[in-house]
A and B are shown apart, each in its own frame.
Chain A
């Protein structure tokens, strides 16, 4: 080994001498050019997959202009100019969106954007040497970006570090090639510029090629999110802070900070390491896991190999409706917009066929690309299901990426090549109703290939695609992703779900998708008209109608306040002044003067005046806050930071969070807690740890982990999402969304006591519902979410996304009843019923009513007569006070529910008299 390496190095020494002499000759006699002006005509175009790109129409300058690609490309054409040059740009907008031209780091005079079909001139002076990203500020992440390289007029470019340690100066005309590599979302977008100036698009995650010892300059740029660039086996001087001056700071990883940055360096390919396939990648863990890497292939000199680069999947490649020989790319925009959480960039064009904007069709070998370009939150890109073969070890290398998942929620995107035909569904682990579906269709078969079997992230393997569970998920997908498929109780028409009229190929052969789904799950169902409960409740119910759109803001979500004395709406709170974004869950302070609301696709906790509905304050608390609750002991506020690692505290009387209680030990996988609960004595915080599949019990005082207990019967991803708790803290209930079960834990030591299977009565193959567990009732709860226990500890009500409400007797932990809910059934919480007892208020994401459940109408303590007492529309008529005009999706998106007064044991005792006045003695002391 030692001898080998030395001879290798001595061989190089001779080459170095030759190179240096050559280099001296060229350098001394090269000419020095003068400032020039450039007249560049560009257009912005829409690409076949719905992304955008800049196209070079002409570039006139004193010298020779480069040889540009004929069509629009991503990244856009690379503009090479020299320090002191003047650049005039004429831009024509051939897209259907507004497009502008900005340069990060250089000032462009009057850089306003232009409407479709307009043309505008921009001008800037290349007064700084360096590489700068140009592009459209708003839509850059969808492809409207490119690089401007301003070189030193002397021709000097970044020095490279040779294998013998020599820092060697370089002139541009010595470069064998240059690469422009944009880091966007979790994808590299590349272009190659050859020595003769020819520009070639390399698209996504290309294989960059070079011959050993060639001089290659990299321009790494980022728009949008932050990244760290790393190239294996190479190192270079960091000249970022000193122009092109050789730096003594030798690096191989570089931070690309948000919102835009660039880093240029020169390397000698393979110097000191030799030929090889060297990976380049982003070194942000979640970005690595979502596919952000490619290869730098250095071939041996004299080997006869040319060291050509290989382009990656492209927006011009083969996808449904676009023929090409190249691998194609479809793009899903990840968004805070209801229904369109994963929206195909060409969703509007596809939806007449697919009846959703979230379904794409590609041939095997093409890729799917995700970009978090329309969201303020953190997310994951996670396979919910995939063709069984794609995830198998013995099926090529696909198992390295399928199922795709990340350990941590993050900002960025994702990219994955799909080779095995069949159905893939992607979701976000944080927001498990965000869905994208991709059918990888073998063009040789007749009908769209769903494949024979799928595997599910929850651990189910080899599920036939014609099974009831598979088609039920498909039906759920079409309902969730298309608002016109939601249950609208203001409409007198029957509830119609539009499914695509296509043939699909399943394990049972070719089927008509629409016929199967309609036969199994019905169509044009007449919705029951709403009727108010006969007995009033006590106080108000605040409901997060999280998807409701209003005119004064771009983000969705309102809070709907219901007066339970007469079941009328009291107020709509949309808070346009802060662009309140997806309000998800609420709680109130001890005297109920302040309601706290979390913005689940954002970073904020919002404080609202209970009496007026006015904004008090909007506070940054962390990524993607989900649930909020006060400590009954101190009135401190606790907020589960779902996209991060813990629960933060905002001390009573303050408006700043001061501490995060980690839900895991340092360095362990983030738990991503969602819907926490607090014991009545305030001593324990219990979190459902979505990412790690457990329920954690934490000591409020010390912040220490008391115990963490795996939930969901050992399933790989049970996805515990919400906690219910007995009023005496004796037991904890954790709803396992993807395991369709409730784990029952000892409230003191966390011991697992029982697992209530909510789908025991369901046959996933045939879809038959029957009393298989022999408990005397047919009851199913598919995808359970919120699961509160009544303040008196007698009953648990579980809202299940599959459209069921499950009633469980907490004395026996047996299911006693199933009630019908709406699609996306989600939120549940107990409030006081006038004269004694409790109502459970249940909300649904894909409907616009609130269901009022009376678990014990006659108050005899038996639950077999549990019933829906009534339901109330969440749609406000003209008379209801509002702070903004409802513009779309009125009353939809029901999630967090907060009845006031808060009547849970531990909190109810602290109510001021004005709030406790309406309660019975028993309600004031629920467990005595």
Chain B
């Protein structure tokens, strides 16, 4: 599987050289195309069977007018048919963000959603809730949208019936992806009222053993809400609003910064730099708009703080400490 990444960097190099030697453009173009084409032919054995993640989640109401997802059941079925139940690694209450689901390229997810919200009796057609996921593969039964949008069917859990979504983290879908409701109250869903979480798809090609902690930070319009995963214990901990993040010195930790709502943000982690994904640029601040993602790894060497430097975000105190200790 490493070949995919090798091929990609090869393509990158070739196009670079082809720009430089424009005098020999025709020659070098044909040459590079042949090379690239040959490398492509090696890629075709790329189907990878993985684990099956069987998940049950609730969509619930929380005090304060919020909605949230709650993990009910999480079982991983291995390729050999072995099953391991990891439900206890998750909070047994509804959380915002919702449970972080961590899988690997090649895995499949079967996620059953149950409606646990007081139905609105006047507008029974609005009593629907869903999970719409970004990034991974799914067929038209698992888009998590309404018939009004997909012209096919309402893909929702309702007060009377649950709904099962099936995702395939095919090769090429590595990354961090938001999932969120798309159907409650309206065809836009109630994502802005708490029904959102993160799906992390680790690449099949590279082990992620070095990463000790995952910080999912959702920047909403007036706060940053967090969810931590300790990769050593597998435990997920809701961090709630503008949390203090803690890491062991010299450990690698991964930030998954996502945004949701109407506002635009400027995320910053002071005194650290990292590579802007897909580029070679070293950055320490990143503009991020609703439902974008920005993922990076830092080696925790010193305490610092993260913040959103947009004007009203500063006034609202949308920031937190990053505490690094032994």
A residues contacting B by CB (< 8 A) are: 1-2, 5-6, 9-10, 13, 16-17, 20, 23-24, 27-28, 32, 154, 156, 159, 161-169, 226-228, 230, 232-233, 235, 237-238, 241-242, 244-257, 272-279, 283-289, 293, 295, 393, 397, 399-400, 407-408, 410, 620, 622-623, 641, 644-646, 648, 657-660, 662, 665-670
Contact = CB atoms under 8 A, between A and B. Distances in A.
Contact of B47 (A10, A620, A658): A10
Interface string B221-254: 1110100000000000000010000000000000
A1 B166 CA distance: 8
Interface in B172-224: 172-175, 177, 186-188, 191-194, 220-223
Given A285-B260, A295-B149, A623-B312, 14 more contacts: A24-B37, A164-B170, A167-B7, A168-B40, A232-B143, A242-B279, A249-B277, A276-B150, A284-B290, A393-B123, A666-B220, A667-B192, A667-B220, A670-B222
Nearest to B150: A277
A662 B316 contact: yes
Given A32-B29, A279-B149, A393 B125 contact: yes
B221 A659 contact: no
Contact of A255 (B33, B138, B264, B278): B264
A669 B67 CA distance: 12
B36 A285 contact: no
Contacts of B26: 32
B151 interface: yes
A496 to B, nearest CB: 43
A645 B262 contact: no
B285 to A, nearest CB: 14
B289 A227 contact: yes
Given A6-B47, A166-B43, A252 B149 contact: no
Nearest to B182: A279
B206 to A, nearest CB: 11
Contacts of B298: none
Given A32-B26, A252-B134, A276-B139, A165 B264 contact: no
A775 B40 CA distance: 87
A620 B314 CA distance: 13
B118 interface: no
A502 to B, nearest CB: 35
B278 A277 contact: no
Looking at B140, B288, B317, the one whose CB has the most chain A CB atoms below 10 A away is B140
A400 B148 contact: yes
A288 B260 CA distance: 12
Contact of B292 (A6, A9, A161, A253): A253
Contacts of B44: 13, 16-17, 20, 164
For A32, A285, A286, the residue with the greatest tally of chain B CB atoms inside 10 Å of its CB is A285
Given A6-B47, A28-B33, A666-B241, A154 B221 contact: no
B42 to A, nearest CB: 10
Nearest to B47: A9
A256 to B, nearest CB: 8
Interface in B92-120: 96, 105, 108, 110
A218 B11 CA distance: 22
A169 B11 contact: yes
B158 interface: no
Contacts of A641: 312
A241 B279 contact: yes
Contacts of A275: 140
Q: Which 10 A-B pairs have the closest CB atoms?
A: A249-B278, A165-B171, A165-B172, A276-B140, A666-B223, A660-B315, A255-B289, A283-B291, A247-B278, A228-B289
Interface in B125-157: 125, 132, 134-135, 137-140, 143, 145-146, 148-152
Nearest to B139: A274
Contact of A245 (B11, B123, B145, B287): B11
Nearest to A378: B262
B221 A645 contact: yes
B278 A659 contact: no
Nearest to B276: A241
Nearest to B110: A1
Contact of B316 (A17, A23, A233, A645): A645
Contact of B312 (A285, A658, A660): A660
A13 B191 CA distance: 36
Contacts of B4: 165-167
Contacts of B188: 285, 288-289
Given A228-B290, A228-B292, A235-B135, A154 B29 contact: yes
10 contacts: A6-B49, A165-B46, A233-B137, A250-B172, A272-B172, A273-B139, A278-B143, A284-B290, A400-B187, A622-B311
Contacts of B134: 230, 252-253
Interface string B2-20: 0011011001100110100
A410 B18 CA distance: 46
A750 B152 CA distance: 49
A235 B14 CA distance: 24
Contacts of B138: 233, 273
A377 B187 CA distance: 27
A694 to B, nearest CB: 11
Given A28-B33, A167-B7, A238 B140 contact: no
Contacts of A230: 134, 291
Contacts of A241: 276, 278-279, 281
B19 to A, nearest CB: 9
Contacts of A245: 11-12, 15-16
Contact of A235 (B172, B278, B317): B172
B41 interface: yes
Contacts of B149: 277, 279, 293, 295
A620 B105 CA distance: 47
A235 B40 CA distance: 20
Contacts of B150: 276-279
Given A1-B166, A163-B170, A277-B149, A658 B315 contact: yes
A190 B114 CA distance: 38
A833 to B, nearest CB: 40
Contacts of B18: 154
B21 interface: no
B8 A167 contact: yes
Contact of A667 (B96, B177, B291): B96
A666 to B, nearest CB: 4
Contacts of A2: 52, 108
B140 A668 contact: no
Contact of B152 (A17, A235, A277, A393): A277
Contacts of A232: 132, 143, 145
Nearest to B13: A245
Contacts of A255: 264, 287-289, 292
Contacts of B135: 235, 250, 252
B64 A620 contact: no
B172 A162 contact: yes
Contacts of B264: 226, 255, 257
B11 to A, nearest CB: 5
B232 to A, nearest CB: 27
A796 to B, nearest CB: 31
Interface string B152-168: 10000000000000101
A417 to B, nearest CB: 12
Contact of A622 (B192, B291, B315): B315
Contact of A272 (B124, B137, B151, B287): B137
Given A277-B151, A665-B64, A246 B47 contact: no
A666 B11 contact: no
Nearest to B25: A32
A5 B170 CA distance: 10
B98 to A, nearest CB: 13
Contacts of A6: 47, 49
Most buried by B among A16, A241, A255: A255
Contacts of A668: 64-66
Given A32-B25, A273-B138, A248 B277 contact: yes
